[in-house]
Structure 1
Amino acid sequence: MNLNFLRHPFVMLQTVPAVIALSIGALALLIGYVESFWQIDFIDPYVHLLPPETARTILSIIAGGAMSALTLTYSIVLVVFALAAGTLAPRMLKRFTSDFVNQMTAGIFGGTFLYSLFSLIFIEQDFVPNLTILGAEILAAICVMQLIYFVRNVSQSVAIDEEIAGITANLKSALEDRRKHREEQEGVQNLKEEKIDKLVFEIMAGKPGYLGMVNERKLIEIAADKDILLQIQKPMGAYTLAEEVLIKATGELDEETVETIQKQVTIRPARSTDSPVEFSINLLLEIGLRALSPGVNDTYTAIATVDSLSDALSQAAMQDDTAAFVRKDAEGNARLLVRELSLANLINQAFHPLRQASGANILMAICLARAYSRLCATCGKNVRDLLREHALLLIREIEKAGHLPEDIDSVIEVLPPFIRKANRERLEKAKK
């Protein structure tokens, strides 16, 4: 049974608070029934014995206050959503709706309302469930503390530096998970080339969208049963058309098997966190580009995104750079070839748009030059050659913008010596 829809942020925002609220409400029924059938005398010295009307008034006030606080909570969340979508990035809504504090707060307030409502059932003219009412009073105190914490959390949610740090932490965690996953598998370079060349059977995507979760275990079982190798043609997060080839196989497959294979690959209509590396990079990139737009013009936010990207990608640069890796069956036979974006792809995806948007901004140009220098210090020769091309394009970009020679030199002097040498060779070649 496919339960991936439960991971959708908007579903989580509804289901998680509902589970918490119903659990707290059920607690009132449990305590109330226990008090109704068993006289609990040992708590009498510790609770204030209330008349029925006073008990009803207290529970009514707590229920009304909890519902008012719940309304305030969702109102604040919606305001934060609108603010984030307008000033930060619309795709950050996925982060806000998945925030555990928002979910917990709504659940506690809703649970306190249900607890107080259910507790009213047990109040009779000759019986007052004092322990149940004590529980409602404790919940009311918890609601006050939770509301204070919620407001503090929301104030941090709209602080862009905090959000950039959170996204960067997610990106670094995703890169580390990818590294661990890769260490458990044999690299594509160890797979025989003649076996890859025999991928002759093509399986279409079947519907358009972004490549999401892949049921690798089931695909390996199918490949082992048919004694074939399957190769996924696109990395997670990539867009595919319904008529595009999504998977290739080393042998012919019947229509039923093709349909089974297609069902193991989730294709979503919108980008999702199923591919956390690409999604986090795109999110940082979107924040940076929005900050550089004339309507926002917030250079230091864009600088923060570049610094965060260089930090995360420097971690990836210290890993083995591979564009794909192999999944094996229990007998050690290669059964599934999974593609992923290489470090070069990630660098191009992150820095080309930022470089193109920074030609008129010397501060951003200096920041990008420093990012290239940091990455050059941690990566291999192939990536350094790529970064050299990025840096030379950056220099041409700021020259095209008509900056003063002194400003251009301030960017060039930040770059590593081998890039400065390549720039001098470029200038000498242009003079000839």
Structure 2
Amino acid sequence: MKLWSIVTLNGLLGVPGALAIFLWLLAVPLVWVDANFNIVGDPLPFWLAISTDTARSLLSTIATAAITTLSMVYSIMLVVFTLAAGNIAPRLLQRFSRDRVNQITAGLLGGTFLYSLSVLRATGPNLHPEFSIATAFILAAISVLQVINFVHAVSRSVTIDAEVAKISEQLENQVNALVVETDADNEDFDEDKLECVLKAQQSGYVTMLDEASLIQLAKEHDTAIAVKVAPGDFVLAGQTLAVTGFDQNDKKALGVVTEAIILQAYRGAVDDIRFSIRILLEIALRALSPGVNDSFTAVACADRIAAALVKPVSEGLRGDVRSDDDGTPRLKVPGLSLGDLLNMTLHPLRQAARGNILMLDHLGVVLNSLYTIAGPEAKELIRAHGKGLLETAGAGDPIGSDLDFLRKRLVFDIDD
């Protein structure tokens, strides 16, 4: 049930469909009120007074315009999808389908169409649902404003820098969630006592891990849970998902654990830090390819990745063990180390920038910035990446002055 709710709410089905059905059903009570109560008095105000023929014509116009505009909206979205897949990154299509502006626009237009048809059906010589007709007019006006907002949002969605900033904001939130100072040490978690093995019933990518539910469940049963997979991992059917302290026959508890580890056929970016990083890397690597040759887009991606690394570099990352409110270790999950994060982000950028002095120079600037805020462990890792940067630059056959310039660019000594 949780998986279905995530899929529908994050796509072009759940929110648009729910909004359209709500507006469609709204016609029923409003027409009933018009049929049973004289809510505006007699004579009617000028903005409600309307003849039967004019009312039917107005409702027909609104319905026709709404469904026509809805077709145009979906056509524009398909064009944007095509441009994004070809020029930015194919995996950005998931972000566009989750965009609330796109979802609300589709739902509002579809709902206005269904609402107008319903009121049109009720309008006749014996019934003038003036209030319902006025509501249809208001919905039409709101739809026009929403379409304007939709066009504005679409124009921004095909701007690479704007998309890079949005992805980076999500990545920053995901990474910052790993910076916690109150978690227990691995030594405090006794995994040897956990004997109940929970295996995957199907193959798929781990897209979400509900840690709060697992911690609460373990606390209620006074036990612990060791999860063996992390968001972004591809799990095979029969592979171990978790090891728990529950009884093997406690189907209810094991079912809660299964629901908390959500598997999907494709990757998603709900909890998957690696997925968000790889989207930014994909955009940067495409920009650095000879066919595109857009170094400034790669520079923007490097800047946004550095912004997401601020807290891990300066404060460090939490361990693998999670505790409950009482400080008792309840959950162990595979985590990312600071070295993993730096290697995952900086290695591909540095290797792709070989021979591109502009990008190599900017990576030096990024390393300098991170070094100034880094803790002792992070500084050692950054020095290692600085050494790799100089080696990569040297492998690209640069002129001596360029290599000397890059070496002097680094504010830290790579031999420390």
Cα deviations across residues 120-168 of structure 1 (Å, max 9, x unaligned)?
1222224322222222222222222221111111000000001111111
Q: What is the CA–CA distance in structure 2 between the aligned matches of 1:147 and 1:222, rounded to whole Å?
A: 45
Q: Which residue of 2 aligns with 1:349?
A: 344
Q: What is the CA–CA distance in structure 2 between the aligned matches of 1:347 and 1:171, rounded to whole Å?
A: 14
Q: Which residue of 1 aligns with 2:30?
A: 31
1:203-222 aligned at under 5 Å gives the runs: 203-216=198-211, 219-220=214-215
Matched, 1:281 2:277: yes
1:116-127 aligned at under 5 Å gives the runs: 116-127=116-127
Matched, 1:54 2:51: no
Q: Which residue of 2 aligns with 1:430?
A: none
Q: What is the CA–CA distance in structure 2 between the aligned matches of 1:63 and 1:266, rounded to whole Å?
A: 40
Per the TM alignment, residue 335 of structure 1 is displaced from its structure 2 partner at its CA by 2.6
More displaced 10-residue stretch of structure 1: 63-72 or 376-385: 376-385
Q: What is the CA–CA distance in structure 1 between the aligned matches of 2:27 and 2:268, rounded to whole Å?
A: 39
Per the TM alignment, residue 53 of structure 1 is displaced from its structure 2 partner at its CA by 1.4
More displaced 10-residue stretch of structure 1: 338-347 or 76-85: 338-347
Between the two proteins, the alignment pairs up a number of residues equal to 413
Name the SS of the counterpart of 1:12 in structure 2. Answer: coil
1:7-406 aligned at under 5 Å gives the runs: 7-8=6-7, 12-42=11-41, 44-179=44-179, 182-183=180-181, 185-189=182-186, 191-192=187-188, 195-196=190-191, 203-216=198-211, 219-220=214-215, 223=218, 228-242=223-237, 244-248=239-243, 254=248, 260=255, 261-262=257-258, 264-328=260-324, 333-406=328-401
Name the SS of the counterpart of 1:267 in structure 2. Answer: strand
Per the TM alignment, residue 28 of structure 1 is displaced from its structure 2 partner at its CA by 2.4
Q: Which residue of 2 aligns with 1:425?
A: none
- The CA RMSD over aligned residues, in Å, is 2.7
Contact between 1:47 and 1:131, CA under 8 Å: does it hold in 2?
no
Change (3 A) 1:231 1:151: same
Amino acid at match of 2:316: D
Name the SS of the counterpart of 2:127 in structure 1. Answer: coil
Contact between 1:235 and 1:341, CA under 8 Å: does it hold in 2?
no
Matched, 1:417 2:416: no
Per the TM alignment, residue 217 of structure 1 is displaced from its structure 2 partner at its CA by 5.4
Per the TM alignment, residue 370 of structure 1 is displaced from its structure 2 partner at its CA by 1.1
Amino acid at match of 2:330: R
More displaced 10-residue stretch of structure 1: 26-35 or 215-224: 215-224
Contact between 1:205 and 1:242, CA under 8 Å: does it hold in 2?
yes
Per the TM alignment, residue 108 of structure 1 is displaced from its structure 2 partner at its CA by 1.3
Contact between 1:288 and 1:305, CA under 8 Å: does it hold in 2?
yes
Q: What is the CA–CA distance in structure 2 between the aligned matches of 1:336 and 1:354, rounded to whole Å?
A: 34
Q: What is the CA–CA distance in structure 2 between the aligned matches of 1:259 and 1:38, rounded to whole Å?
A: 55
Cα deviations across residues 208-249 of structure 1 (Å, max 9, x unaligned)?
332233344564566567765432233322233445544345
Contact between 2:321 and 2:332, CA under 8 Å: does it hold in 1?
yes
More displaced 10-residue stretch of structure 1: 365-374 or 375-384: 375-384
Q: What is the CA–CA distance in structure 2 between the aligned matches of 1:34 and 1:162, rounded to whole Å?
A: 47
Per the TM alignment, residue 333 of structure 1 is displaced from its structure 2 partner at its CA by 3.6
Per the TM alignment, residue 50 of structure 1 is displaced from its structure 2 partner at its CA by 2.2
**Fraction of identical pairs, as percent:** 35
What TM-score does the superposition give when structure 2 sets the normalisation length?
0.90
Q: What is the CA–CA distance in structure 1 between the aligned matches of 2:312 and 2:289, rounded to whole Å?
A: 29
Per the TM alignment, residue 351 of structure 1 is displaced from its structure 2 partner at its CA by 1.0
Cα deviations across residues 337-372 of structure 1 (Å, max 9, x unaligned)?
122212221111111111111111111101111111
Q: What is the CA–CA distance in structure 1 between the aligned matches of 2:142 and 2:216, rounded to whole Å?
A: 50
Amino acid at match of 1:25: W
Change (3 A) 1:10 1:407: farther
Q: What is the CA–CA distance in structure 2 between the aligned matches of 1:276 and 1:252, rounded to whole Å?
A: 27
Q: What is the CA–CA distance in structure 2 between the aligned matches of 1:161 and 1:294, rounded to whole Å?
A: 20
Which runs of no fewer than 5 residues in structure 2 stay unpaired?
A: none
Change (3 A) 1:17 1:201: closer
Q: What is the CA–CA distance in structure 2 between the aligned matches of 1:375 and 1:331, rounded to whole Å?
A: 35
Change (3 A) 1:82 1:128: same
